[in-house]
Amino acid sequence: MKVERLSAITLATHDMARAVQFYRTLGFAIRHGDEHAEFTSFAFGSNYLNLIAVPATRQWSWWGRVIFYVDDVDTFYANAIAHGFQPEAPPRDAPWGERYFHLSDPDRHELSFAHPLRSVPVP
């Protein structure tokens, strides 16, 4: 018995319309739901990013970070900047073998966009 892969991650949002616009702008494709739904699902590869609407009275603190592999970190970063988003820092190469940058979504969920470096093997 073993865990084989991640199928989906679900993030809570206080404003579905704002969250859907954010993820659409980053290039995520909607599979189910929309700006007015209580639950919206985005497909990427064979995985899903889900959003669930929760009341503003339900708050959360830092919970972790979702890491997405993209084909070109620098282009993805430039697109985020062009749309007025404010990543934590410009893309950089990490000693563990990825080029990456971090960006928080409108509900303060931390996202990392990365790509493996060719020169350093990723475990």
* C-beta neighbour count of 36 within 10 angstroms: 10
pLDDT of residue 4: 65
Cα(45)–Cα(94) distance, integer angstroms? 24
CATH of 6-54, one of 3.20.20.70, 3.10.180.10, 1.10.357.10, 3.40.50.920: 3.10.180.10
Of 42, 32, 47, 40, whose CA–CA distance to 13 is shortest? 40
Ranges under pLDDT 50 in the chain: 120-123
Q: How many CB atoms lie within 10 A of CB 93?
A: 13
pLDDT in tens, 76-103: 999 999 999 999 999 999 888 889 999 9
- What residue spans define the domains of the chain? 6-54, 63-123
As given in the structure block, the two tokens for residue 107 are 């509900």
Taking domain 63-123, whether its CATH number is 2.60.40.2470 is answered by: no
What are the percentages of helix, strand and coil residues in the chain, rounded to 5?
15, 35, 50
